[in-house]
Amino acid sequence: MINSVLPQWAKQVERDKILRLYSSHAAGIFDEGLADEVAYAMLARAESIIKVTRVHEQGILDCPSCSCAVQCDGQKSWNIFKCTCGWNLSRGELHKTYQHKQLVGGAAMPVIEDAVKLFPGKGSYNDKIIWIDRLIHAFHGELNTLREETGMAYRPAARNFIEGSLMQVVELIFSLAYGDSPDFMKSRAEWIEKLKISYVPDHIKSRYL
**How does pLDDT run across 133-189, given as a tens digit for each residue?**
999 999 987 766 555 565 556 889 999 999 999 999 999 999 998 888 888 889 999
Which pLDDT does position 178 carry in this prediction?
86
Cβ proximity of 9 and 98 under 8 Å: yes
Q: For 139, what's the count of Cα atoms within 13 Å in the CB-facing half-sphere?
A: 24
Name residues whose C-beta falls within 8 Å of residue 57's C-beta, 6 or more positions apart in sequence. none
How far apart are alpha carbons 16 and 20 in whole angstroms? 6
Amino acid at 110: P
Query: Lowest mean pLDDT: which of 28-32, 50-54, 163-167, 199-203?
Result: 199-203
Query: Is residue 55 over pLDDT 70?
Result: yes
What residue ranges do the domains of the chain occupy? 2-59+102-205
Which pLDDT does position 3 carry in this prediction?
66
Average of per-residue pLDDT across 84-107: 94
Which three-class secondary structure state does DSSP give residue 20?
helix
Binned at pLDDT 50, 70 and 90, residue 197 comes out as confident
